[in-house]
Amino acid sequence: MYGLTKIVLSQLLSLATVVVFAAAPGVAQTYKILHNFQGKDGAYPYAGLTLDPAGNIYGVASYGGKYGYGNIFEINLSLNTFSTIDFQVLEGTDPLGTLVRDNSGNLYGTAIRGGRGGLGTEFELKSGTTQILPHSLAPSLGYPEAGLVMDAAGNAFGTADFGGIYGWGGIFEISADGTFSLLYSFNVPTDGYHASALVQDASGTLYGTNVYGGPNGAGTLFSLDTSGNFRIIHAFTGGSDGYGPDSQLMIDSQGNLYGTTSGSLGSCGLIFKFDSAGVETVLYAFNCVVGNGPNGPLVLDGQGNLYGTVLGGGVAYGSGIVFKLDREGKLTVLHSFFRNGGDGYSPYAGLVRDRFGNLYGTTYYGGTGRCGTEYTGCGVVFEITP
């Protein structure tokens, strides 16, 4: 669709590992590698994946590719193709944020470095084209690590880790006509810093988390409404409520917010829920054997089950897991990653879910690629089918 350089996916699948395992008595899941990155086709996919209505998969590899600066990739399962467009310096380098797709099929994202000022870009890839169109955030902001959220009018909202009034980054908008606006500057003692990707509710209010800082130094959960009113919904204490909320929030139809913290007092991370009144409920606390450091956004199915990834831990192999958490608080491990097993490991990015219930994600390391000084693997794209 985008004129990307194509590789026949069936050739790549010959390298894939397929594992069938029991997730619960009487229930089987199938784990399948859709792509093993080899370096020249991209490496170290940190961001999550994006699906279109036809089931095609889009993402970014943070490094590798033709020029070494990462790329945008597409997996078309019906045509068995893997396609890429590679970043050059002025377009942006080291893309870490998940892509968003508009109703016309155009893709939008962020690159943490590169661009004319060297402080990163917001970019667009129009459907049917091969040229990445960058917008620089400099001189107001820089280093946009997180991805974007887009409203129905085509305005994109994001966060950056550098610049703004206080130097700790802020929240920005790039309108449908390409106009850049600094909406809010983070002040570390009150607001925190190092923000996640944003989510938006039906009224247009934006929600996000800052991993560090805030009144208690353990991160914050915040909102910004369409009138520019910024509010700290919760300042994490580092106790039983958790610390380091390093993932994009998920919002349900009732306006409840779901997310994760990297740790808490007595656990290796939490899954939390905040209701519309700002009251936190801890849905699950990980012990360090089952999982260590939940990361990436959660996804919700029609029965109220949550799905996500954990960066480390796992009963069998210690290299991360994919999990399901039901409405009663029971956690089921759908897949445990094996560092030396070829199925990838360290799933930073969370998951996406299609209308059939299939789950898709990436791992930062592992697979058959020979990247890194110890050949830790270049990462994989995977699918888990129910």
Cα torsion through 5, 112, 114, 82, rounded to 10: 0
Mean pLDDT of the chain, nearest integer: 91
Q: What is the mean pLDDT of residues 14-20?
A: 33
Q: Quote the pLDDT of residue 334.
A: 95
How many Å apart are CA 268 and CA 161, to the nearest integer?
25
DSSP states of 81-97: EEEEEE--GGG-BS--S
Domain ranges in the chain are 7-46+290-386
Is 145 within 8 Å of 96 (Cβ atoms)? yes
Phi-psi category of 319—alpha, beta or left, where left has phi over 0 and alpha has psi -120 to 50? Answer: alpha
In the predicted structure, residue 29 carries a pLDDT above the cut 90: no
In the predicted structure, residue 36 carries a pLDDT above the cut 80: yes
DSSP states of 213-280: BSTTSB-EEEEE-TT--EEEEEE--SSTT-B---S--EE-TT--EEEEESBBTTBS-EEEEE-TT--E
Is 251 within 8 Å of 242 (Cβ atoms)? no
Which residue bears the tokens 């936190």?
A: 280
Q: Quote the pLDDT of residue 2.
A: 59
How many Å apart are CA 333 and CA 176, to the nearest integer?
41
For the stretch 267-283, pLDDT in tens is 999 999 999 999 999 99
Q: What is the mean pLDDT of residues 326-353?
A: 92
Q: Which helix H or strand E contains 191, and what residues bound it? A: helix 188-191
pTM for the full model? 0.91
Beta bridge partners of 142: 162
For the stretch 214-268, pLDDT in tens is 999 999 999 999 999 999 999 999 999 999 999 999 999 999 999 999 999 999 9
Query: Quick one: which of 284, 291, 271 has its CA closest to 333?
Result: 291
Q: Quote the pLDDT of residue 313.
A: 87
Longest dimension (CA), the chain: 57
Is 258 within 8 Å of 273 (Cβ atoms)? yes
How many Å apart are CA 19 and CA 75, to the nearest integer?
21
- CA pseudo-torsion sign 18, 24, 28, 29: negative
How many Å apart are CA 298 and CA 25, to the nearest integer?
24
Q: Quote the pLDDT of residue 317.
A: 61
For the stretch 126-142, pLDDT in tens is 999 999 999 988 889 99
Q: How far apart are the first and last CA of the chain?
A: 28
Identity at 210, one-letter amino acid code = N
For the stretch 190-216, pLDDT in tens is 999 999 999 999 999 999 999 999 999
Length of the chain: 386
DSSP symbol at 167: S
